[in-house]
Amino acid sequence: MELHGILTFSSEIRPAVAGVGAVHITSSFIHNYPLIYAFNRRICEAYVAFPSLHLPFQRERVKSPLRYTFVDQVLNEIKRSELKHVYAYPAYPVKVTTKKFFLSAKGYGYAEKIKRGIKSFYPTETNWISLLPSTKHRTLLISPYRLPRRLYIRMGMKRAGLFKVYLHEVHPTEIKVINAFEWSNIPVNLYDVRLFNYVVEGYTKVLETRSKPENKPEASSIGYIQARGLYEIKTPEGRIVAPLPKTLW
């Protein structure tokens, strides 16, 4: 995966040491849920506006819990052995280039007219550490249909992260099971891998997103795992050790 633009995720927030506002840091690892949306050409979840919620009287604010409806659909397809969409593993960095940006939503004149309580809606001054070209990542895909050798995907904040992806199709003869305990050499989603019927003996976490689904908070974490029954996959770029869904295999 070759990055052809600016990729920004708010993976981590820290106070700015020298400057104003907070620092939003983009992780060099990419969670697999935005990758699943990107490879399936899903910009976002589908939302419905209810006119009754926009009546001209005061109504208490209701915070809806975070849900990945489409991702849940893909995982259920794997459990039923009826995969119809692309499943993506987390992407790990091969080469990383970063740059710091300062964004300001307020002016610096003598007088400025602003709305009351503006900071409750969006930060006025923020620092971003984003990924730039020539950043490169690798990932593993499971697809029920043949994908093109090259394609473009977008993800990240405002879908600005444009990637050019080069794909290599793996033949089943290049895959074999490892019966002993082994560590994966690519990161996996700690929630998804248990749905693949694996017992995780140990793991090393590399990323935990700030957004946690209410019914499965473990899905926010990705990392390397140790388990029995992982698969060795031979590719032109080297050997991959990863858990594969036993229902599909």
Structure tokens at 50: 């209810």
Judge whether residue 46 has pLDDT over 60: no
Mean pLDDT of 105-124: 58
pLDDT reading at 43 higher than 50: yes
Are 192 and 33 spatial neighbours (Cβ–Cβ below 8 Å)?
no
Cα–Cα dist 69/185, whole Å:
29
> Once rounded to an integer, what is the mean pLDDT over residues 167-172?
94
Q: Are 191 and 36 in contact (CB under 8 A)?
A: no
For residue 166, the cross-strand partners are 150
Provide the 10 A C-beta neighbour count for residue 33. 23
pLDDT at position 154 is 93
Q: Distance of alpha carbon 13 from its chain centroid, rounded?
A: 17
**What per-residue confidence (pLDDT) applies to 102?**
83
Burial 168-192 (b: 16+ CB within 10 A, else e): eebeeeeeeeeeeebebebbbbbbb
Q: Is the pLDDT of residue 156 over 70?
A: yes
Q: Which amino acid is at 177?
A: V
Judge whether residue 186 has pLDDT over 90. Answer: yes
Mean pLDDT of 24-33: 94
**Mean pLDDT within 17-46:** 86
Average pLDDT, the chain: 86
d(CA 11, CA 210): 7
What are the start-end ranges of the H helices in the chain?
32-39, 69-79, 192-195
Contact between residue 164 and residue 4 where contact means Cβ atoms under 8 Å apart? yes
Average pLDDT over residues 8-36: 87
pLDDT of 76 above 50: yes
- Beta-carbon contacts of 32 under 8 Å, excluding residues fewer than 6 positions away, are 88, 89, 90, 91, 139, 188, 189, 192, 222
Look at residue 124 in the predicted model and tell me its pLDDT. Answer: 63
Q: Where residue 66 falls among pLDDT bands split at 50, 70, 90?
A: confident
Choice among 40-44, 102-106, 143-147 with the minimum mean pLDDT: 102-106
49 pLDDT exceeds 50?
A: no
User: Residue 245 and residue 243: Cα distance in Å, rounded?
Assistant: 7
Is residue 48's pLDDT more than 60?
A: no
Q: Would you say residue 70 has pLDDT above 70?
A: yes
Residue 50 has a pLDDT of 46
Give the per-residue pLDDT at 219: 92
Q: Which of 170, 203, 166, 206 is nearest to 184 (CA)?
A: 203
Q: What is the reported pTM?
A: 0.85
Percentage of the residues of the chain whose pLDDT score is greater than 70 = 82
**pLDDT score recorded for residue 133:** 96
Of the candidate ranges 9-13, 168-172, 218-222, the one whose mean pLDDT is the lowest: 9-13
Q: What Cα–Cα distance (Å) separates residue 62 from each residue in 44, 58, 238?
A: 21, 12, 49
pLDDT computed for residue 54 by the predictor? 46
When pLDDT is averaged across residues 19-34 and rounded to a whole number, the result is 89
Token look-up 């080297």 returns 238
